[in-house]
Structure 1
Amino acid sequence: MDSHQIQPLIAFLISSFVAARAYRRKSLDFSGAIAGLAVMTLHIAVGYRYGAVLLVFFFSSSKLTKVGEEKKRRVDPEFKEGGQRNWIQVLSNAGISSVVVVVLWWVTGLEERCLDSKESSLITALMGGVIGHYSCCNGDTWSSELGILSDDQPRLITTFKPVRKGTNGGVTKAGLLAAAAAGSVIGLTFVLVGFLTTKCTLKQLYVIPLSSLAGLCGSVIDSLLGATLQFSGFCTVRNKVVGKPGPTVKKISGLNFLDNNAVNVVSILITTILTSIACIYVF
């Protein structure tokens, strides 16, 4: 068996272990574990770099979700121990990239390629899309999970007025810095694994600042959508910020048009497209 035949088997074994571990630790529920197994296997089978950025996003976000759980329980009305992401949340955070890696599989035939638009602008754009996708996911998660623990008063991104913690579209300096750092971690992972699996030039290092910008940009887009198209209100009975209108809920901001998963998908899609275009010009 050559490496291309062995890689899907390795992908399945790694993904099975990670999904089972995540289910035991309550990072994923059963449906989330099954969906996670599928998307992880696909990413790793197509390229170790794509699998690596997915796993770095998953492990870092799962770890941060469990930091300060008591504080988050007091703020988040939909708090679940360990996170317990279901299949909808898994696909909203990995669905677009799964489509992109399938296309990469088709156009590269599982051959590891470099970011080089002179060689292929299509492959460069697709690879950039995966980088942008997980930079956005990681940036949004780090920003949310660390921002809510910050002592800073969140400000609504559209008006800069102070808002309660947990308000969709509320941002802090700590949260924005976390988003940029999260993006850079995705870029660093992609580059390091790439140096082990490909023979690319040092120009690939440009991925790191680009992914950092994508992480920040994705978080800002997510916050803008959250502040305008996602409802936030204060429930006087539960004494928490909630995401749905009701008789005991006083509106803070936004329209009841998109839920959290939809906001994630739209912000990821926009960041994926923007990063794809950027990679064509940079590389």
Structure 2
Amino acid sequence: MQGALLIRAAVGALASSIIATGAYRRNSLDASGAISGFLVMTFHIVAGYRFGALLLVFFFTSSKLTKVGEDKKRSVDADFKQGGQRNWIQVLSNSAIATVLILIRWKLIGPDDLCLDAKSSALSTSLIGGIIGHYCCCNGDTWSSELGVLSNEQPRLITTLKPVRKGTNGGVTIQGLLAAAAGGAVVGITFVFFGFLTARCPYEVALKQLWVIPLSVVAGLCGSVMDSLLGATLQFSGYCSVRNKIVGKPGPTVKKISGLSILDNNAVNFVSIMLTTALTSVACLCIF
């Protein structure tokens, strides 16, 4: 077991350094984001290849989608960054909760990859369920944001259903909601596929793991919806007449559209992730 752990540590450090360095060179991460990403990714892979796979599928798909339609996104997003460059705060807001759950599971249960089975281990099932929910929310919300803004459909504020400008926090479209469900599905498929390779459990239990996929669809959609609800109510959105863009802070040239200046975008992400993580953890205990 010690030898396997050392191999995973070496694989994790090597893979994380290559990916973090490449992301920094492509401007997907700044220096602080690359360093924090390296540490988080290494922890995930050391704790289990399947956890590393969940993080990587989120990172790669979100990074690719961030670059889709950059010209159109630049025209509506006041905080647009070329390549979607993320710093350490954004990295941790999208990975801290899962990293904590992974480390808790590793400490209390060990590094062995287990199937979701509450009868065998309720603690492991709840922790893994939370990790799944975490990345379903992250991926679903990112897919929704990156693809929803490209829709030709007029966004509607989720709390009132009134039409709003593109880029308004809490504005949703059908395309964005479908993208959120698809983002969650990709996480669920990744978990199930790698589980068939790395986890050993009875046939009936292994077959039941397929329920993770529809659960992940729901988690991705719910995570995006919760993010939109928080964005519409606790995050400020206004239209700047000088910049002709939606902005996230009040000002003399800004006309308020919705929300209070209580949470910023990173805080909204963190809270929605935390809620989705908790709900998916409980759902896994009930289903498995």
The TM tier, using the shorter chain, reads: over 0.9
Match of 2:231 in 1: 226
Once the two structures are superposed, the pairs formed by residues 118-129 of structure 1 within 5 Å of their partners are: 118-129=119-130
Task: For 1:227, give the aligned amino acid.
Answer: A
Query: How far is the alpha carbon of 1:202 from its aligned partner?
Result: 1.1
Aligned ranges 1:178-197 → 2 under 5 Å: 178-197=179-198
Alignment partner of 1:215 is 2:216: no
Structure-2 separation of matches of 1:279 and 1:121: 9
Alignment of 1:57 with 2:58, yes or no, is: yes
Per the TM alignment, residue 9 of structure 1 is displaced from its structure 2 partner at its CA by 1.1
2:155 is matched with 154
**Residue 254 (structure 2) aligns with:** 249
Instruction: Flag structure 2 segments of 5+ consecutive residues without an equivalent.
Output: none
Aligned mates of 2:109, 2:153 — CA distance in 1: 47
Q: Which amino acid aligns with 1:267?
A: S
CA shift, 1:108, in A, is 2.1
What is the SS of the residue equivalent to 1:209? helix
Tell me how far apart the structure 2 counterparts of residues 12 and 207 of structure 1 sit (CA, whole Å): 29
2:193 & 2:12 partners in 1: Cα distance? 19
> Take 1:205 and 1:106, find their aligned partners in 2: how far apart are those partners?
27
Structure 1 runs (4+) greater than 4 angstroms displaced: none
SS in 2 for 1:82: helix
Residue aligned with 2:86, SS: coil
Name the SS for the 2:246 alignment partner.
strand
Report the TM-score when normalising by structure 2: 0.97
1:253 deviates by 0.2
The aligned counterpart of 1:272 is: 277
Q: Deviations over 1:79-138 (max 9, x none)?
A: 111011000000000011110000011122211111000011111000000000000000
- The letter of the residue matching 1:280 is L
Find out whether 1:43 has 2:48 as its counterpart.
Answer: no
Residue 2 of structure 1 and its aligned partner are, at CA, apart by 2.5
Superimposed CA distance per residue, residues 126-171 of structure 1 (whole angstroms, 9 cap, x where no aligned partner): 0000000000000000000000000010000000000000000000
The one-letter code sitting in structure 1 at the alignment partner of 2:250 is P
Aligned residues: 283
* Distance in 1 separating the partners of 2:165 and 2:119: 49
Name which of structure 1's ranges 99-108 and 244-253 shifts more when overlaid on structure 2: 99-108
In the TM superposition, 1:73-222 aligns within 5 A as 73-200=74-201, 201-222=206-227
| Cα offset, 1:179, TM superposition | 0.2
2:128 and 2:176 map into 1 onto residues whose CA distance is 27
SS of alignment partner, residue 160 of structure 1:
coil
Identity of aligned residues (%): 69
Pairwise CA RMSD = 0.7
- Is 1:28 the counterpart of 2:29 in the alignment? yes
CA distance in 2, matches of 1:265, 1:254: 17
Q: Give the SS at the match of 2:94.
A: helix
Q: Which runs of 5+ in 1 are unaligned?
A: none
Supply the distance in 1 between the matched residues of 2:18 and 2:191 (Cα, whole angstroms). 22
Any idea what the Cα deviations from partners look like across 1:212-233, whole Å, max 9, x if unmatched? 1000000000000000000000
Q: For the residues of structure 2 that align with 1:172 and 1:73, how far apart are their CA atoms?
A: 19
